[in-house]
Structure 1
Amino acid sequence: MIRASNISRRIGGLSDLSLEVPAGACTAIIGPNGAGKSTLLDLLAGRSAADSGSVSFGGKPIADWAPVALARRRAFLPQSLEVAFPIRVMDLVMLGRSPYHGKTSAREDRAAAETALRLTDAWQLRDRSYQRISGGERQRVQLARVIAQVWRLREDSEPRMLLLDEPTASLDPGHRLAVMRLLRDLTIAGIGVVLALHDLNDAARFADRVVLLHQGRIISEGGPEAALQAEVLSSAYGAEAQVIRTADAAPVIVFR
């Protein structure tokens, strides 16, 4: 669904990188600080342009998409997003439905926002001020907003993609696992997910594909079993990595 071909960007340090992000799958981008994860997500989302190379979405150059049409198919959640004005949580999530103005009914838009809030366990926050909830609650509300942006009440064949930069960073362990399970469920519903993660064990457990960046280049990619090898992880992170197999054969990565 998203294809990057030989992209480079001096600001962010990406160099001659090629990548395909499939539809209906969860792709985790991992790597040490400064590896280029956020820069790559920005380019894949079409929020910034590469110095060289190309990015396409749904087989079409991403720069050729009309912004509103692209926004109905692709939603992006950055690491942090400040909201400088007072707003109720439900109203903030409804902003995710802005690209559908004139395309869907108010009832459909409200239903999409309500569904997204329930999926992210943020329904009980709907009437509260966004400025008066905790950082972890804000993270779940912002996730609900981008889910509402790509949510469909009727089946269609349009490609849809969520691009998320550290979506679990502010969450407690219970909500972190719930969000990762939710993202897997969304891929089953046909929504592609690509996310930057620091937690390698979440990548190993929940991702269909893992992309390991180091100094702006891909040094390992594939299924978790293939991409998360101890030797390459040790090299990338500068610490000795050990991959342990649990009873259900899921890899657990430990650094020492």
Structure 2
Amino acid sequence: MSGMNRLERWESRTQTPLMIAALVFLVAFAIPIVNPGLPSSVLRTCTVVQDVIWGVFLVDYAYRLVVAPRRWQFVRKHPVDLAAVALPALRPLRLVAALSFAHQVAGEKLRGHVALYVTTATLLVVTISSLAVLNAERGHPDATIQTWQESLWWSFVTVTTVGYGDYAPVTGEGRLFAVGLMLCGIALLGIVTASLASWLLERISEPDPHRQPATAADVAELAEEVRALRAELAGLRGPDQG
């Protein structure tokens, strides 16, 4: 079995389990941020779950890299996956792993259903961004984002490119996530616009099945009238030529 076949077989078998693992990872990351006053045992459990799933992500990436026929090309084509496993020291950036694997699976399962895909991607991006920014901003003396409600409101305002300015990150890490969210908002807006334009072009270019029988009948009737007119003209010209 070739390297490419092994890689494709591995990815097809692990997509759904990794998607579930990414969602569990997201929940384990969100619980301590949304409710930091939970008992220490619950917080430790969430940390252990994150570490275990992180190890799963790392093993998955390492195996795909090993079986890939062209490893450097694989690295270049999967920069998000590499960033997700190469930044263990920055806990909020571990959410990139959840976003990466969710995009990988959802993109294939929802392809052709643009509205559903855009909605899913938007909710995932907004949720991850709100958690990451809150984790970076909470406790800073100049921060305006101190609760998850404020962070969630800021994420929706930012991803829609509205930008009221009532809340804004002040830390370097928070601003880094803000830039990423802005880029995602622009990309999602472009996807919606392109999809709408493509749908309109398809509707304009495709033939109307209800108009085909009428058009064919009109052509046949017109041809019959042309033949009758030619016969009549021939009859009128005959005596003159005679």
Which fold has the larger relative contact order, with Cα–Cα distance below 8 Å and residues 6 or more apart in sequence?
1
TM-score normalised by length of structure 1: 0.22
TM-score normalised by length of structure 2: 0.23
Instruction: Say which structure is richer in helix.
Output: 2
Max Rg structure: 2
Instruction: Say which structure is richer in strand.
Output: 1
